[in-house]
């Protein structure tokens, strides 16, 4: 047990159990719905570090917030530098959206180029604490590549289950990081179920974020950084894309932990964005009813999750915060890729920019005000999925190596 952790509490029946190795889900509710939250002793956190100490820390990674994490300070950690991603205030993008206080948190700048590194690094540290030689997960792609990378850095083996549709960039990462890659010929739901059976069968360390309560704790560090990078003056809104729902739950948990520890004075509203081609949680939220499975029909592969694995925590995050959810078309996602790239030099993958696409809709509807302080999280880097990037922007101008032809071709391109 870690000193700052009180225990694990079931989000369904609220039963509290000790945080012991091997305990992931609620013993009463089981893995269906019995997802746990890590409970902290906030006084212990404040005894470990103060806000002022953290602000002066020269550890420019998510481990500057060690006192808020469920790992032992002495545990072995991989050398990769995860977190402390840049928070930009891109003037061009703000202008094009008509917003005066818009920030972009670029989490595509992590070691394996997505926000998932924040969870995967916790997974391999916990696996190390539990002396597990092999870690495993199923993933739409980024959890996979980030687990493989962090496992490689930690000297652990990884077994990764991905749906056959995962983009080549992510598959290449897996192979480079030496994972055993199982490409499941089926949907993400099929992939998740097979991985759960195999993990049970072989006893591997389980990195499935909806099951393992420690991973959301890693993801929450993005919220801690946003607060600190804004001088502990929290934004009005934080907006990001949603698949399984673990990331948005992590963002909310991060702000709540800071609030309960007395480090911030208020909480932001949280907005979740999905693609209209796969939006079970947006539908459930807007129609105020239980979620139903949906087809996975979107180019944003990282959020093509028809059967979300952490729906309750995700919806709770949005509702408790007084936030909202919105679905955007794939065309709007491609447009957001162009807009972010061209106005601010930031390159996100489709799911990475879906938050920005949703922001545009919510501003147009007047739900988010033009002068409100908003942070949109770019959750993954665009180089992971080149095919869709090319779809967004088209092919370059082809010329023979002759100035005459170049001049002719440039005449056809008035923007030059």
Q: Give me the residues that bind ligand PLP (CB under 6 A), please.
A: 114, 116, 142, 241-248, 302-303, 349, 351-352, 379-380
**Could you tell which of ligand PLP, Zn ion, none binds residue 25, using a CB distance below 5 to 8 A set by kind?**
none
**Could you tell which of ligand PLP, Zn ion, none binds residue 303, using a CB distance below 5 to 8 A set by kind?**
ligand PLP
| H helix or E strand, kind and range, residue 299 | none
Q: Are 83 and 225 in contact (CB under 8 A)?
A: yes
Laid out side by side, the sheet with 102-106 consists of 87-88, 102-106, 374-378, 237-241, 269-275, 324-328
Q: Are 3 and 66 in contact (CB under 8 A)?
A: no
Task: Identify the residue whose tokens are 């050398």.
Answer: 79
Least distance in Å: CB of 14 to ligand PLP?
Answer: 23
Least distance in Å: CB of 145 to ligand PLP?
Answer: 9
**Could you tell which of ligand PLP, Zn ion, none binds residue 12, using a CB distance below 5 to 8 A set by kind?**
Zn ion
**Could you tell which of ligand PLP, Zn ion, none binds residue 34, using a CB distance below 5 to 8 A set by kind?**
Zn ion
Least distance in Å: CB of 131 to ligand PLP?
Answer: 27
How far is Cα 247 from Cα 412, in angstroms, rounded to an integer?
44
How far is Cα 411 from Cα 407, in angstroms, rounded to an integer?
6
Select the span of 6-14, 48-56, 99-107, 126-134 touching Zn ion (CB under 5 A).
Answer: 6-14
Nearer to ligand PLP, 298 or 344 (CB): 298
Nearer to ligand PLP, 35 or 303 (CB): 303
91 binds Zn ion (CB under 5 A): no
Least distance in Å: CB of 60 to ligand PLP?
Answer: 22
Listed residue (249, 261, 395) closest to 309, CA to CA: 249
Listed residue (347, 362, 357, 361) closest to 393, CA to CA: 347
Site string for Zn ion, 24-63 (x = CB under 5 A): --x-xx----x-----------------------------
**Could you tell which of ligand PLP, Zn ion, none binds residue 407, using a CB distance below 5 to 8 A set by kind?**
none
Size of the chain, expressed as the number of residues it contains: 416
Least distance in Å: CB of 36 to Zn ion?
Answer: 8
Listed residue (312, 34, 306, 350) closest to 190, CA to CA: 306
- Compute the radius of gyration of the chain from its Cα atoms: 21
How far is Cα 407 from Cα 416, in angstroms, rounded to an integer?
11
Q: Is the torsion defined by CA of 57, 61, 65, 69 positive or negative? A: negative
Nearer to ligand PLP, 177 or 263 (CB): 177
Least distance in Å: CB of 243 to ligand PLP?
Answer: 3
Least distance in Å: CB of 327 to ligand PLP?
Answer: 14
- Out of 4, 7, 8, 10, the only residue in the binding site for Zn ion (CB under 5 A) is 10
How far is Cα 319 from Cα 5, in angstroms, rounded to an integer?
26
Q: Are 48 and 30 in contact (CB under 8 A)?
A: no
Q: Site residues (CB under 5 A) for Zn ion? A: 10, 12-13, 15, 26, 28-29, 34
């Amino acid at each position: 047990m870690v000193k700052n952790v009180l225990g694990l509490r079931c989000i369904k029946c609220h039963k509290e159990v000790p945080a012991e190795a091997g305990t992931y889900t609620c013993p009463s509710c089981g893995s269906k719905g019995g997802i746990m939250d890590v409970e902290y002793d906030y006084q212990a956190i404040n005894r470990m570090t103060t806000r002022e100490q953290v602000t002066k820390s020269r550890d420019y990674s998510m481990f500057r917030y060690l006192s808020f994490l469920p790992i032992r300070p002495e545990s072995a950690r991989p050398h990769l530098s995860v977190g402390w991603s840049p928070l930009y205030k891109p003037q061009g993008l703000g202008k094009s959206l008509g917003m005066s206080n818009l920030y972009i948190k670029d989490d595509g700048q992590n070691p394996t180029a997505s926000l998932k590194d924040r969870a995967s690094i916790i997974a391999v540290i916990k696996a190390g604490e539990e002396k597990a030689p092999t870690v495993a997960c199923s993933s739409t792609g980024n959890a996979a590549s980030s687990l493989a990378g962090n496992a490689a850095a930690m000297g652990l083996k990884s077994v990764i289950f991905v749906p056959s549709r995962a983009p080549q960039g992510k598959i290449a990462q897996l192979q480079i990081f030496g994972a055993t890659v199982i490409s499941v010929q089926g949907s993400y739901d099929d992939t998740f179920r097979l991985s759960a059976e195999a993990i049970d069968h072989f006893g591997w360390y389980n990195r499935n974020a909806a099951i393992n309560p420690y991973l959301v704790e890693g993801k929450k560090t993005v919220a801690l950084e946003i607060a600190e990078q804004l001088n502990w003056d929290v934004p009005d809104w934080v907006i990001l894309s949603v698949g399984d729902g673990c990331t948005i739950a992590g963002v909310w948990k991060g702000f709540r932990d800071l609030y309960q520890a007395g480090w911030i004075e208020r909480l932001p509203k949280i907005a979740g964005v999905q693609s209209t081609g796969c939006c079970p949680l947006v539908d459930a939220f807007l129609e105020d009813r239980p979620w139903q499975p949906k087809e996975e029909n979107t180019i944003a592969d990282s959020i093509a999750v028809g059967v979300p694995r952490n729906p309750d925590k995700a919806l709770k995050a949005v509702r408790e915060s007084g936030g909202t959810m919105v679905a955007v078309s794939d065309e709007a996602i491609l447009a957001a890729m162009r807009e972010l790239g061209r106005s601010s030099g930031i390159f996100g993958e489709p799911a990475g920019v879906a938050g920005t696409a949703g922001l545009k809709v919510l501003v147009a509807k007047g739900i988010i005000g033009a002068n409100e302080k908003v942070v949109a999280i770019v959750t993954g880097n665009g180089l992971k999925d080149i095919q869709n990037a090319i779809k967004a922007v088209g092919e370059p101008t082809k010329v023979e190596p002759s100035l005459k032809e170049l001049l002719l071709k440039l005449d056809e391109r008035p923007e030059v």
